[in-house]
C-alpha cells in the first residue's frame, strides 16, 4: 500500500470525516468578472496564499498590488537548483494527488509531471545492529499502529490542554521486549507525527491531533519542484519585491499599507503574513488587532522543520529508498533522510529535523550541522559514506524574518476555532489568508491556496461583486 502519511495515521482507526465532500476548487486564472472595479487591493505576501488571492482578485476586475518583503516569490515554497537538481527547501510534497486537490488541477493545467513517494520504501537501521530484518520492521509497524489506535481512543475524551506527550508517556514507558523494536516504535511515532507536524509531542494537542483534513491519494513530488507552480502563478501580477510591510492602518476612511519603500493607499488589504511573523508582533495594525485574534495568534503553535541537503558524487543508499531512518537511544536529534534518487536519479539526500532539534541546528554552523548528518549516515552505511560531499544546503526557517518558523500546528490549549478567528476579516478592510487561517488544511500549500481564494471571495462579496460559484466545499468558513 502506498498511502500518504496523514492517511496512514487515519487508517489506524479507519476514520471517515464529515468534511470529505467532493469540492470544486477554482483555477487561479479562472475569471469571475471582466468588469474593472477600479478598486485597489494590496496583497501582503507573495506566497501561495497571496498569489492565489491576487490572481482571483485580478481576474475579478480588481487593481491588485502584491507587496513582498523578499526578493523572490513563493514564500515557504522555495526550490533550490544549486546542486544541479531541483530540491525543495520548503514545501516539497503535494499531499494527496486526488483530482480534487487544487494543486493537482494546476499540475494538470500547467502540464507538470509528478512522482509519488512510496512510503513503503522506508529503510530502518539501528546504530548498533545495522539494517533491520523484515520481521523486526513489521513488528515495529504493528506496535506503532496499536499505539496510534490507543491515542485515537483517548482523543475523544481528552481535555483541550492535554498534549500528545502526556498521552504517550505512560504508553512508551510500558514498552517492553526487544530493545530494537522499542527504539523502532519511538522512531516510527516521531517520524509519523513529530516530523509531519514539525513539532515535538509536548507541543502538539492530543484532542486536535490529525483531525485536520487530508486529500486522498499519494504524496507526490513535482518534477522541477514547487517553483514550477510559483512561476506560473506570478504571471501577470504587479509584485513589488523587497517591500517590507511595517504597518497596516485602517483608522481613516481608506486603508494604508506602509512598507519600507513608502505608503500604498488601497480599499482593502489581504494579510498573508506567516503565523511566526504575526507572533512577533512587529507589524503594527492601527487600530490594534482585536484581543481574540491576538490570543489565537499566541495559542496556535508554529512548528519548525529544517532540511539538511547533501550532495554526493555517488549514491550509497538503496536505489528505491524513499526514507531512511536511524534508530538511536534517543529520538531527540536528526532521525530521518529522504533521498532524492527516486525523483531525480541524483545522489542527493535530504535530512529532516523537526521541533526543538530543528530550532537548535540554527544555532550551529553549517559545517557542524553537516558533520552531524554525515555521522548519522555513517552509523547506517559505514565507510561507504565518503569523507567529502559534493555540495550542501542547510535551511534556517526559524531565524528567517519572513517566516519565523515552518508551518502551524495545533498546540495544547489551541483548537480549530483559533484558525477561524485568525481568518476573520476586520471591518471589511483587512482580510486574512495563509496556511494558519485554514482550519481544515492547516500547515499545507493547498490550505494556503484555498485560504487565498477564500479571502479574495470575501472581498468580492463585501463589494457586491462576489460570485458564489467560487465558494468551494473546501472553504473553512
Ligand X SMILES: Cc1cc2nc3c(=O)[nH]c(=O)nc-3n(C[C@H](O)[C@H](O)[C@H](O)COP(=O)(O)OP(=O)(O)OC[C@H]3O[C@@H](n4cnc5c(N)ncnc54)[C@H](O)[C@@H]3O)c2cc1C
Q: Scan residues 383-422 and list those touching ligand X (CB under 6 A).
A: 397, 402-403, 406-407
Run of H or E residues at 270: strand 268-271
Tell me the C-alpha distance between 451 and 447, whole Å: 6
Check if the beta carbon of residue 320 is closer than 8 Å to that of residue 276. no
Question: Edge to edge, what strands does the sheet with 238-241 contain?
Answer: 238-241, 63-68, 40-44, 268-271, 430-432
102 binds ligand X, rule: CB under 6 A? no
Give just the sign of the alpha carbon dihedral 144, 355, 410, 275: negative
User: Judged by CB under 6 A, which of 443, 454, 470, 475 binds ligand X?
Assistant: 443
Beta strands 40-44 and 268-271 are parallel
**Closer to ligand X by Cβ: residue 258 or 379:** 258
Q: Scan residues 238-257 and list those touching ligand X (CB under 6 A).
A: 244-245
User: Judged by CB under 6 A, which of 196, 435, 453, 458 binds ligand X?
Assistant: 435
Tell me the C-alpha distance between 435 and 446, whole Å: 8
Q: What is the DSSP string of 304-362?
A: -EEEEEEE-SS--S-TT-SEEEEE-S-SSS--EEEESHHHH-SSEEEEEEEHHHHHHHT
Inter-CA distances, 26 with 30, 33, 74, 101, 460, Å: 7, 14, 19, 10, 15
Burial, 335: exposed, middle or buried (Cβ in 10 Å; 0-12, 13-18, 19+)? buried
**Closer to ligand X by Cβ: residue 69 or 267:** 69
**Closer to ligand X by Cβ: residue 311 or 453:** 453
User: Judged by CB under 6 A, which of 37, 47, 248, 361 binds ligand X?
Assistant: 47
To ligand X, the closest distance from the beta carbon of 244 in angstroms equals 5
**Closer to ligand X by Cβ: residue 162 or 357:** 357
Check if the beta carbon of residue 69 is closer than 8 Å to that of residue 184. no
Q: Scan residues 185-214 and list those touching ligand X (CB under 6 A).
A: none
Q: Scan residues 358-387 and list those touching ligand X (CB under 6 A).
A: none
76 binds ligand X, rule: CB under 6 A? yes
**Closer to ligand X by Cβ: residue 48 or 189:** 48
Nearest Cα to Cα of residue 29 among 453, 459, 475, 469: 453
Check if the beta carbon of residue 39 is closer than 8 Å to that of residue 267. yes
**Closer to ligand X by Cβ: residue 47 or 466:** 47
Binding mask 290-329 for ligand X (x = CB under 6 A): ---------------x-x----------------------
- Helices 164-173 and 134-155, interaxial angle, to 10°? 130
User: Judged by CB under 6 A, which of 277, 278, 334, 389 binds ligand X?
Assistant: 277
Check if the beta carbon of residue 219 is closer than 8 Å to that of residue 94. yes
**Closer to ligand X by Cβ: residue 143 or 354:** 354
To ligand X, the closest distance from the beta carbon of 106 in angstroms equals 13
6 binds ligand X, rule: CB under 6 A? no
Please tell me the total number of residues recorded for the chain in this structure. 477
User: Judged by CB under 6 A, which of 9, 12, 42, 46 binds ligand X?
Assistant: 46
**Closer to ligand X by Cβ: residue 50 or 267:** 50
User: Judged by CB under 6 A, which of 60, 96, 217, 274 binds ligand X?
Assistant: 274
Q: Which residues bind ligand X (CB under 6 A)?
A: 44-50, 67-70, 75-77, 90-93, 95, 244-245, 272-274, 277, 283, 305, 307, 397, 402-403, 406-407, 434-435, 443-445, 448
Amino acid at each position: 500500500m502506498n498511502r500518504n502519511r496523514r492517511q496512514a495515521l487515519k487508517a489506524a482507526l479507519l476514520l471517515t470525516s464529515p468534511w470529505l465532500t467532493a469540492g470544486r476548487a477554482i483555477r487561479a486564472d479562472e475569471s469571475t468578472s471582466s468588469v474593472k472595479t477600479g478598486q485597489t487591493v494590496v496583497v501582503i505576501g507573495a506566497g501561495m496564499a497571496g498569489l492565489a488571492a491576487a490572481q482571483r482578485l485580478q481576474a475579478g476586475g480588481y487593481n491588485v498590488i502584491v507587496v513582498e518583503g523578499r526578493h523572490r516569490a513563493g514564500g515557504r515554497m522555495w526550490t533550490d537548483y544549486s546542486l544541479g537538481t531541483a530540491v525543495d527547501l520548503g514545501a516539497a510534497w503535494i499531499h494527496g494527488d486526488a483530482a480534487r486537490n487544487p494543486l493537482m488541477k494546476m499540475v494538470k493545467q500547467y502540464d507538470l509531471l509528478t512522482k509519488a513517494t512510496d512510503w513503503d520504501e522506508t529503510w530502518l537501521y539501528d546504530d548498533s545492529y545495522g539494517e533491520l530484518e523484515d520481521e523486526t520492521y513489521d513488528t515495529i509497524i504493528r506496535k506503532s499502529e496499536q499505539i496510534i489506535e490507543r491515542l485515537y481512543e483517548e482523543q475523544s475524551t481528552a481535555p483541550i490542554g492535554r498534549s500528545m506527550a502526556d498521552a504517550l508517556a505512560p504508553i512508551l514507558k510500558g514498552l517492553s521486549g526487544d530493545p530494537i523494536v522499542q527504539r523502532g516504535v519511538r522512531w516510527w511515532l516521531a517520524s509519523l507525527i513529530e516530523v509531519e507536524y514539525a513539532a515535538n509531542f509536548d507541543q502538539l494537542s492530543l484532542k486536535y491531533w490529525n483531525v485536520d483534513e487530508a486529500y486522498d491519494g499519494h504524496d507526490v513530488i513535482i518534477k522541477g519542484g514547487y517553483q514550477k507552480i510559483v512561476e506560473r502563478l506570478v504571471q501577470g501580477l504587479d509584485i513589488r519585491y523587497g517591500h517590507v510591510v511595517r504597518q497596516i492602518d485602517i483608522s481613516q476612511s481608506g486603508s494604508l499599507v506602509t512598507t519600507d519603500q513608502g505608503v500604498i493607499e488601497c480599499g482593502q488589504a489581504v494579510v498573508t503574513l506567516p503565523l511566526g511573523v504575526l507572533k512577533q508582533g512587529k507589524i503594527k495594525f492601527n487600530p490594534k488587532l482585536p484581543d481574540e485574534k491576538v490570543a489565537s495568534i499566541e495559542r496556535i503553535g508554529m512548528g519548525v522543520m529544517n532540511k539538511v541537503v547533501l550532495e554526493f558524487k555517488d549514491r550509497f543508499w538503496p536505489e528505491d529508498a524513499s526514507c531512511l531512518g536511524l534508530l538511536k537511544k534517543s529520538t531527540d536529534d536528526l532521525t530521518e533522510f529522504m533521498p532524492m534518487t527516486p525523483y531525480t536519479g541524483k545522489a542527493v539526500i535530504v535530512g529532516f529535523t523537526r521541533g526543538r532539534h530543528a530550532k537548535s541546528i540554527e544555532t550551529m554552523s553549517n559545517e557542524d550541522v553537516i558533520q552531524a548528518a554525515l555521522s548519522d549516515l555513517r552509523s547506517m552505511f559505514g565507510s561507504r559514506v565518503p569523507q567529502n560531499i559534493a555540495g550542501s544546503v542547510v535551511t534556517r526557517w526559524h531565524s528567517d524574518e519572513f517566516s519565523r518558523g515552518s508551518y502551524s500546528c495545533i498546540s495544547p490549549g489551541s483548537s480549530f476555532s483559533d484558525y477561524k478567528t485568525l481568518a476573520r476579516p476586520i471591518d471589511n478592510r483587512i482580510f486574512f489568508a495563509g496556511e494558519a487561517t485554514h482550519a481544515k488544511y492547516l500547515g499545507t500549500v493547498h490550505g494556503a491556496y484555498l485560504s487565498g481564494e477564500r479571502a479574495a471571495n470575501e472581498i468580492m462579496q463585501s463589494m457586491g461583486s462576489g460570485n458564489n460559484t467560487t465558494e468551494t466545499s473546501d472553504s473553512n468558513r
